[in-house]
Amino acid sequence: MVVTGVGVVSSIGTGADAYARALREGRSGARPIEAFDTTGFAHATGCEVVGFDPEQWLRRIPVAEAGRAAQFAIASARMAVDDAGIGEDDLRDRRGLVSIGTTDGGSDDGERLAAAFVHDGPAATDPAAARRVPASRLATGVARDLGLADVETSTVATACAAGNYAIGGGVDAIRTGEVDYALCGGADALCRMTFTGFYRLGAVDPERCRPFDVDRRGIHTGEGGAVLLLEPREDALARGARIYAEVLGYGLNCDAHHQVAPHGESVARCMALALEDAGVAPGDVDLISAHGTGTKANDATECGAIHGVFGADGDVPPTVSVKSMLGHTMGAASALAAVACALGIDRGFIPPTINHTETDPECAVDCVPNTSVEAELRIVQNNALAFGGNNAVLVLGRPA
């Protein structure tokens, strides 16, 4: 099956072309956070989407009924459909799937409600906001706004790996023949709760997000959305569609080990499962888009696991982190990274790991520092790890 359309809302560019340009230029989305009050925090840099106008994208659902993450999901899905050159009416005649990954869902509304509760007690009410909180609104919102009735919808809430999970859900539904297309990806809005949690864990970098760097100090929280349109290759060929990439396979597993600390052996196992599902050997992989959050623990553990699967330094393909540019967009992260992989395959480049000064010996990979490079990519692996030990790895390939 193949990727024939992509849609992106991000801090470095909205839409496939702007996003591809930003990735190639190594642009940074970091700026002082304005989405919530940061008073009292010693530092608060994040990767916020600026200037997003939901009115431009929502056609059937009133803007007031969709939370910010749902708006990102709807905008991304609409872009992906447009990008694929399929009319929304044509989609309505086919059985489909909408799957959106998220960490926080409607928690940005939830935490504003919680703040009202803390200040004013239960007398404080905002029924419209309360109705935006259930996370199912992300996937259902896409279907309703695109007018798609005959679709299975799921909002996949597997935290920071949710985007890859959602894409995997689409892959399997197409493989089993239960659906004819899948709109899948991820979306999240900046949340004070998530920022506060990572800050407290000492996992927010006060300066810049620098994955694999010896001086890295953590993530920058970010926001955005990304959706890919997947369909069987025959269908795409039959309508003469532009094909970005082939979806070769994916793998899922769970560390079953620790709530927040990734487990190297298990992460390696997930990569092996994905490569096996894709029918490719480690030596065939030309690029790894790492989870690469920029925390001490993640990058060292993930790079260790990569070495475990791919072997000694010379055998490890270039391993980059687009989070250096986008921050950690939570449930959207691996979907945004998957789109970056598809664009890299299609347009022949490797996005850089920016903010890089000196590679940590514990992360001994070629992270393509600071400047993108031209490259013919045949097979690309996209990693995602999450709290709860939820790992998901996706493998994309150059269309045959």
Partner 1 sequence: MNVDESAGVPAVANPVVRERAGEIKALVCRVLETEPDAVGLEDRFVDDLGADSMKLIELLSHLEIEFDVEIDEDELDRLVHLQGVYDVLGDVAGA
Partner 2 sequence: MTGAVITAWSAISACGIGAAAHRAAYGDPARRPPPTPVGDPVPGEAHVAADFDVTEALGPKGTSSMDRCSGIAVAVAAEPLTAGQRAHAVPEGSVTGVVLGTTSGSAQTQLDFTRESLTRSKPYRVNPALMPFALMNSAAGQTAIWHGLTGPNTTIAGGRMSGLSTLRYGARLLATGRADAVLCGAVEEYGPARQWLADQRTPAAAGRRPLGEGGAVLLLEPAADDPLAASGDGAHHQDAHHRDAHHQDANHHDANGAGGRTPLAELLGVDTRVDVDDDPAAALDACIRRTLDRAGLTGGDVGAVAVSGPPGPLAGAERDAVARTAARADVRDPGEILGDTGAAAGPFQVTLLLDRPGVALVTAVDEDGTVGCGLLRVY
Catalytic residues: 160, 291, 328
- Paired tokens of 213: 């760097």
Residue in the structure block whose two tokens are 């089993």: 176
Judged on CB neighbours under 10 Å (0-12, 13-18, 19+), 260 is middle
Closest C-alpha to 216, from 357, 352, 350: 357
Q: Quick check: 325 binds partner 2 (CB under 8 A)?
A: no
**359 lies in the site for partner 2, by CB under 8 A:** no
Nearer to partner 1, 54 or 304 (CB): 304
Please, what is the minimum distance in Å from the beta carbon of residue 398 to partner 2? 24
Q: CB of residue 202 vs partner 1: minimum separation in angstroms?
A: 5
Of 277 and 302, CB closest to partner 2: 277
- How near is the Cβ of 124 to partner 2 at its closest, in Å? 9
What is 282-318 written as a DSSP string?
Answer: GGG--EEE----S-HHHHHHHHHHHHHHH-SGGGSPP
Residue 383 Cα to chain centre, angstroms: 10
Residue number, 204 or 326, with CB nearest to partner 1:
204
Residue selected from 140, 295, 298, 353 as contacting partner 2 according to rule CB under 8 A = 140
Binding footprint of partner 1 on the chain (CB under 8 A): 200-202, 258-261, 297
- The letter for the amino acid at 78 is R
Name the minimum Å distance from CB 378 to partner 2: 25
- Among partner 2, partner 1, none, residue 11 binds (CB under 5-8 Å by kind): none
Strand 181-188 to strand 45-46: parallel, antiparallel, or no bridges (unpaired)?
unpaired
d(CA 179, CA 290): 30
Q: Tell how far CA 250 is from the center of its chain.
A: 15
Residues in region 189-248 near partner 2 by CB under 8 A:
192-193, 196-201
> What is the pattern of x (binds partner 2, CB under 8 A) and - over residues 81-120?
---------------------xx-xxx--xx-xxx-xxx-
- Distance (Å) of CA 336 to CA 186, 258, 314, 395: 8, 26, 28, 14
Residue 110 interface partner, choices partner 2, partner 1, none, CB cut-off 5-8 Å depending on type: partner 2
Q: Binders of partner 2 among 10-39, rule CB under 8 A?
A: 39
The one of partner 2, partner 1, none whose footprint includes residue 390, by CB under 5 to 8 A per kind, is partner 2
Q: Binds 335, which of partner 2, partner 1, none (CB < 5 to 8 A, cut-off by type)?
A: none
Residue found under tokens 């591809």: 20
Q: Interface with partner 2 includes 157 (CB under 8 A)?
A: yes
CB-nearer residue toward partner 1: 39 or 259: 259
- What single-letter DSSP state applies at residue 125? -
- Does 151 interact with partner 2 (rule: CB under 8 A)? yes
3-state secondary structure of 328: strand
